[in-house]
């Protein structure tokens, strides 16, 4: 009797967990709005201030409102410390650091879709892939 009740409990548990999600939502990949990565990412270091520079590619879709933003994620000794937002398609950011620590910066473009390009069920905020630079 105990063995049968355990088998029934296992079967019910498996049935419960296999029905907990909608596979259609997970598998949906028909969102076609992307932003290209920033180009020519470089940095200069003066004292304890890092100046990052990059270029915004020309092939930005008309589906995005202009101006775009850039987000710079600051990683200090493998720990995310802050996110710096750069507005109005500016292509530089100055960030104060501790020169004795290792830093990695991840720069991503951020764009918002125009009202005509928005799709129901999807966000209107789109990030590009990150371009990474490490200070040495």
CB 83 within 8 A of CB 72: yes
Q: Give the range of the structural domain holding residue 37, as residue numbers without chain letter.
A: 32-134
Whether pLDDT at 135 is above 80: yes
Question: What is the rounded CA–CA span in Å between residue 3 and residue 71?
Answer: 57
pLDDT attached to residue 122 = 79
Q: Which of 40-49, 95-104, 114-123 has the lowest mean pLDDT?
A: 114-123
Residue 14 confidence class, pLDDT cut points 50, 70, 90: confident
The whole-model pTM stands at 0.75
Any domain includes 115: yes
pLDDT attached to residue 23 = 53
Any domain includes 25: no
DSSP 35-83: -PPPEEEEEEEETTEEEEEEE--S---TTB-SS-EEEEEEEETTEEEEE
Any domain includes 60: yes
Any domain includes 13: no
Number of folded domains that form the chain? 1
82: CATH: 2.60.40.10
74-94: pLDDT as tens digits? 999 999 999 999 999 999 999
Any domain includes 4: no
pLDDT attached to residue 5 = 82
Any domain includes 7: no
Whether pLDDT at 16 is above 90: no
């Amino acid at each position: 009797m105990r063995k049968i009740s355990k088998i029934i409990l296992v079967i019910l548990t498996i049935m419960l967990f296999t029905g907990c999600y909608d596979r259609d939502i997970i598998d949906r990949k028909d969102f076609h709005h992307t932003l290209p990565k920033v180009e020519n990412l470089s940095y200069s270091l003066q004292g304890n201030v890092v100046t990052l520079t990059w270029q915004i590619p020309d092939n930005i879709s008309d589906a995005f409102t202009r101006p775009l933003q850039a987000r710079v994620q600051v990683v200090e000794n493998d720990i995310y410390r802050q996110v710096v937002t750069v507005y109005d398609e500016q292509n530089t950011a100055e960030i104060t650091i501790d020169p004795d620590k290792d830093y990695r910066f991840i720069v991503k473009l951020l764009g918002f879709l125009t009202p005509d390009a928005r799709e129901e069920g999807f966000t209107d905020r789109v990030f590009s892939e990150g371009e990474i630079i490490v200070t040495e």
